Amino acid sequence: MKTTQTTLACLAMAMAMALPLGAAQEKTTPAAKPSLTVTTALPVKADWAQKISANGSLAAWQEAIIGAEANGLKITDVRVNVGDRVQRGQVLATLQSDTLRAEQAQAEGTLAEAMASAQEAKAQADRARALQQQGFFSAAQLSQALAAEASALARVQSARALVQLQGVRLSQTEVKASDAGVISARLATVGSVVGAGTELFRLIRQGRLEWRAEVTAADVGRIQVGAPVQVTAASGQVLSGKVRMVAPSVDMQTRNALVYVDLPAATGSARAGMYAKGEITLGQSQAITVAQSAVVVRDGFSYIYTVGADQKVTQVKVQTGRLSGDRLEVLSGLKPDARVVVSGGAFLNHGDTVRVVDAAAK
C-alpha cells in the first residue's frame, strides 16, 4: 500500500512539471533561418538620353561621275587608281592631243591672217574717209571701204573664237577631278579610244560618307534634323554624325522610312556599302534605374525581388526599358523607395527570408 502511494505521488509531480515545460518550449520556438545573404540597394533616378536603335547601310554622300568630254581620242596615261585621294582640278588621265594641237596651230594662223587683213581694211577705210572729206571719194566708195573694214573685223572675231574653241578641246585631253575626294571606281584603260560622255572614274565627293538608317513609321515623327547619332560599322569602327534629312515618304513594302545621317570623311575601316547599326538620340528624360543584375527573367517576364522590414523578399513583376552600362531602366512595377536585391535573385522565391549585409544606395 505504501509503495502504491509513493508511485502516485511521483506521477503527480511529473505531470505538474510537464505543463510549464511544454509552455516554455512553445514560446521559444526558433524563427525561420535566412535562406540567403543578399545585398540591397535603392533605385536611382537619373537623366538618360532617349535613343532609337536602327539598322542601315553606309553609302557615299555624293558620288561624282567623271567622263571624257573629247570624242574619239585615245587614252595615253592614267594617273590614279581606286582608293586614291585627289584634289579638285587634279589630272586623273590624259588623252592623245597631237591632232588637236595641230588644229589649234591652224586656228592661230587663221587668226593672224584675219588680223592682218583687218589692219589693211582699217587703213583703207581711214584713207577713204580722208579722201572723201577732200572730195576725191564718193559716198558710195566710202561706204564700200567701211563695209570691208567691218567684214575684216568680223573675220578676226570668228578666227579668235575658233582659237578659243581649239584651246577648250585641247584642255579636254586632260581629264581632271571635279572635286576633292576619293576615287571609288576606275574604268579608264591606257590605249582605249573613248567617246564624249564615256565614264572613266567615279569619285566620292570630299570623301564623305552617310548612313542611311531604316526606322519604323512610328519613330519617324520623333526624329529631328541635327540630332546626334552614333554609328557602328560592320568593321567595328564607331562614327559620330548628325541627322541631315528624314525621307518625306515611307516605303510601301517595308513600311520603313530612311534617315540620312552625315558622317565624317572616309577614314579608318568604314567603307561605303557596309552594313551598320546605330542609335539616334532624341533628347533627355528621367529614368528609375537598378543594377542589371537585380533583374531576373523567368518565363519570358522580368522580375525584381524587394526586401521588407521583416527581412522577407517579395517578387515584383516589372517592365524594363533602356540599358546604359550596368544600369537598367524600370518603366513600371517598382516603387522608388523599395529595397532591391542587387544580386542572387535567381536563387530566391517569393516569401524567402534573407539576411541583408549592405543596404547602401548605389
Quick: pLDDT tens for 338-350: 888 887 777 888 8
Q: Burial, 6: exposed, middle or buried (Cβ in 10 Å; 0-12, 13-18, 19+)?
A: exposed
pLDDT of 335 strictly over 70: yes
Is pTM beyond 0.85? Reply is: no
pLDDT of 5 strictly over 70: no
pLDDT at 33: 66
pLDDT at 34: 67
**Mean pLDDT, range 131-145, rounded to an integer:** 72
**Mean pLDDT, range 229-240, rounded to an integer:** 90
Q: Which residues are paired to 74 by β-bridges?
A: 193
The three grid cell numbers given for residue 169, joined into one nine-digit string:
578641246
pLDDT of 169 strictly over 70: yes
pLDDT at 55: 93
Give per-residue pLDDT as tens, 315-329.
Answer: 888 888 878 778 888
Contact 306, 353 (CB under 8 A): no
pLDDT at 30: 52
**Mean pLDDT, range 104-117, rounded to an integer:** 88
**What is the pLDDT confidence band of residue 332, given thresholds at 50, 70 and 90?**
confident
pLDDT of 224 strictly over 80: yes
Q: Which of 1-10, 49-58, 224-233, 240-249 has the lowest mean pLDDT?
A: 1-10
pLDDT at 307: 87
pLDDT greater at residue 19 or residue 160: 160
pLDDT at 136: 66
pLDDT of 18 strictly over 70: no
pLDDT of 212 strictly over 90: yes
